């Protein structure tokens, strides 16, 4: 199945959206970007997901992340559905969301990006888009890919957390351990020698003793 792998450059496609026609690379500019797909407009799980995405839009914006959704319906359907999404959030039922939604009624983009779920089909027997999340860096390359089936909603707080991790580890020689949250200690990457680590991380490097005697669990407070 066609799709994207980590490190692949985002295709520079053109598409109609709820905010007009876009060319994807121009839309991203020099920002980070999140492209997330949805099976269908006016469906329950998708409505809750876009509602949560809208609630978190300001947090993504603070991190220089542009958001854009994709669903296999028309622009007019997207605009009408946006009213329901805003109402679900307890807000005025207006047509505008903080991010555009791509209209992919013929599924061309979903096929190109490997987003179709073979097990979930519409009333005409056509496959629906799965719940895909692509995170692109400022270099337009894929940094993260998450794939959920149509029946399982995503956790957008987790997507925000992984963006924090991706941005931190892109610029600092650290990795984030299991269940890491911003402000927690991070791990020094294994390829960094001890002497260089001491210079890079003046707050200190702390090593956990292990039965193997190997000093690979090296922690440091999150760098600024």
Could you give the residue numbers annotated as active site?
46
Please give the DSSP secondary-structure letter assigned to residue 18. B
Q: Which of 180, 218, 177, 215 is nearest to 201 (CA)?
A: 218
Beta strands in the chain (DSSP E): 14-17, 20-23, 32-38, 65-71, 101-103, 116-121, 127-129, 131-136, 142-148, 174-175, 186-188, 206-207, 218-220
> Cβ distance 83 to 51 under 8 Å?
no
- Tell me the CA end-to-end span of the chain in Å, nearest whole number: 41
Alpha-helix residue ranges (DSSP H) falling in 96-155: 108-112
At residue 57, what are phi and psi to the nearest 5 degrees?
Answer: -55, -40
Lookup: tokens for 35: 């492209």
Kindly list the strands in the beta sheet with 218-220, ordered across the sheet, starting from the edge strand earlier in the chain.
Answer: 174-175, 186-188, 218-220, 206-207
Q: Give the C-alpha separation, 162 to 114, whole Å.
A: 22
Please give the DSSP secondary-structure letter assigned to residue 9. B
């Amino acid at each position: 199945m066609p799709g994207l792998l980590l490190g692949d450059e985002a295709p520079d496609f053109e598409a109609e959206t709820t905010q007009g026609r876009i060319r994807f690379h121009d839309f991203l500019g020099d920002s980070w970007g999140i492209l997330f797909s949805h099976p269908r407009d006016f469906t329950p799980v998708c409505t809750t997901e876009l509602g949560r995405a809208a609630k978190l839009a300001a947090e993504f914006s603070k991190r220089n992340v542009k958001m854009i959704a994709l669903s296999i319906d028309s622009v007019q359907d997207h605009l009408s559905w946006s009213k329901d999404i805003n109402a679900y959030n307890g807000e005025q039922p207006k047509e505008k969301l903080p991010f555009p939604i791509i209209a992919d009624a013929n599924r061309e983009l979903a096929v190109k990006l490997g987003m179709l779920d073979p097990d979930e089909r519409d009333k005409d027997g056509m496959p629906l888009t799965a719940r895909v999340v692509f995170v692109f860096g400022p270099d337009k390359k894929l940094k993260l890919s998450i794939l959920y089936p149509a029946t399982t909603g995503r956790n957008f707080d987790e997507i925000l957390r992984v963006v924090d991790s991706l941005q931190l580890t892109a610029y600092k020689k650290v990795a984030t351990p299991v269940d890491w949250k911003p402000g927690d200690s991070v791990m020094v990457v294994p390829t960094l020698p001890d002497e260089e680590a001491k210079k890079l991380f003046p707050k200190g490097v702390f090593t956990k003793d292990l039965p193997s005697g190997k000093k690979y669990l090296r922690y440091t407070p999150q760098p600024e």
